[in-house]
Each structure stands twice: as structure tokens, then as C-alpha cells.
Amino acid sequence: MDQAGIIRDLLTWLEGHLDQPLALDNVAAKAGYSKWHLQRMFKEVTGHAIGAYIRARRLSKSAVALRLTARPILDIALQYRFDSQQTFTRAFKKQFTLTPALYRRSPDWSSFGMRPPLRLSEFSMPHYEFVTLEPTELVGVTQSYTCKLEEISDFRNQMRIQFWREFLGNAPSLPRILYGLHEPRPSMEKDDEQEVFYTTALTADMANGHLHNGQSVKLEGGEYIQFTYDGPGTGLQEFILTVYGTCMPMLNLTRRKGQDIERFFPQDEARNQEPPIQIRCEYLIPIRR
């Protein structure tokens, strides 16, 4: 295999092991080279030093975790292999110019400092478009949850299934659109903490008379970027991480305060009952340009 192929495989492996020990000796053993040869080859192929790249990717993953999850900052620091919150804070501020606590609480989320994963082949951007939404009244169920960044899609899916079973027990027909609204809210008590809420909802006309325990929910209007996912349900997690870790930085977009909106299309999914279930999801992020 040529050098580019070796490094391409290594980059894929590294991306899946950022929360594992990645001392150069371990990485070199995985690649089958001495660490000196691996460092030289990595720099020649990518233009980056391997140690600095790994640290930048860990910090970028932790930045997304700070914004999308409710996990304590120390837990995030330890997951991505920083030995203390102090060490993590110093490294994080150097890359993003803000402390982790301020980064988490900032109303706007700039793409500044994000280091997308290196790809030696051409990156295929998911289909996207800029849209303006009018405020819409929905009816749904809101739950708070906490999980690792890598588990977000699974946790949200469990909440949708729970909602779905309750709704299907009362509804005469499948709704055209099922909404998922994700919203982080800074803690009122602690500066470095936040809560994360996920709302599964339907339009008021579809929920009327069929959804017990549903509450009125307002889908916020404004400008959004809409990414479209069409594929197996198991691929949605990687899609969400790609949107935040690669697409938003590449487009140099700032996420404004508000809800991420997921739109699913149950009638389409119902036509294909054989696993793996294929889904279509429109993922909308509130933005400021």
C-alpha cells in the first residue's frame, strides 16, 4: 500500500479512537512502523504533525460535546484523555480563545478553532440549503437527557420510539412529519453546566385528540441551514457529527441561540420494513450570517 493509503487508513482509525490512549508508541505499533518513521510519513502526506493533529481533533470533539451534551466539563476532559480540568482548560483556551465554561454558555457558537478531521479523498458535503421558517405551534413531549457525544443519536431515537408507541396507540394514520427539537439551556446554578432537552412533536392538527400528555411547543422562526440525510438509521449519528465537526466550519457559519430541528418522514419509512430501516431526515440549525 502506498503512503497515502496507509495514512488514510490511520486517519480513519484515529477518528474512532480519540477517547482511547494514543501515545505515539501505540499509534506506531498499530500502523506497523517505528514512531519516527510514522511521524515523518504523516507529516509528508498531510502537512501536519501527528501529535498536534490528535490534540486538535480531541479538542474539537470536546467542543462539540460541550455544546451538544449535558456532561460535566471534567467528564468531557477525561473522556478525551486530558489528565485534569486545568490541563484541558489551558489547551482548550489556546485553540478556541475561550475557556470551556464560557464556550459552553456563549449564546452564539462560532466555528472558529474547529479542526475538522483530515480526509485525503474529496469530502462530499451533504445537500444543504438556507431556509427561513415561520414560527409554528407543535404538540409534543419534552425530556432532558445526558449522554456522551457518541451516543446522541441513540438516545434521541429511544425518545422518538417511546413517543411513537404512545402516539400510534391512538392515531388512525401516520403523520407526514415527526419533529425532534434539540435545545441546550445553561444552568442557572452553575456557570459550567447546562441541561439538554429533546422534544418529540407533531403539528397540532395531527396531534389533536390522539396524543395524550402532549404539551404545546413553539418551533422558533428565523434563518436556518438545512442539511438532508437519506440513508440507514444507523448512519444518523455520524451525519450529525459531520454536520457540526466538518460542514459548519467549512461553511464558516455561526450557530445562534435556538433549537436544532429534526424532521422525519414516517410515511416514507413505513414503506420499507426490512432492516436496516432507511430514513430521511432534514436537520436544521439556527444560524447567523
What does the pLDDT read at residue 268?
A: 63
Residue 125 near residue 23, CB atoms below 8 Å: no
**Which grid coordinates are listed for 249?**
466550519
What does the pLDDT read at residue 274?
A: 60
Residue 64 near residue 241, CB atoms below 8 Å: yes
Mean pLDDT in residue range 198-220: 83
What does the pLDDT read at residue 107?
A: 93
Residues of the chain with CATH 1.10.10.60: 3-105
- For the four alpha carbons of 255, 53, 227 and 253, in that order, the dihedral sign comes to positive
Mean pLDDT in residue range 214-239: 93
What does the pLDDT read at residue 181?
A: 97
Mean pLDDT in residue range 265-269: 73
**Which grid coordinates are listed for 208?**
389533536
Omega of the bond prior to 232 within 30 degrees of 0, cis? no
What does the pLDDT read at residue 23?
A: 87
| Assigned superfamily of 3-105 | Homeodomain-like (1.10.10.60)
Rounded-to-integer distance, Cα 136 and Cα 199, Å:
14
Give the predicted TM-score (pTM) of the model.
0.92
Residues of the chain with CATH 3.20.80.10: 128-288
If phi > 0 it is left, if psi is from -120 to 50 it is alpha, else beta; for residue 252 that is: left
pLDDT greater than 90 at residue 170: no
Confidence tier at 168 by pLDDT (50, 70, 90): low
pLDDT greater than 80 at residue 4: yes
Q: Does domain 128-288 have CATH number 3.20.80.10?
A: yes
Share of the chain above pLDDT 90, in %: 71
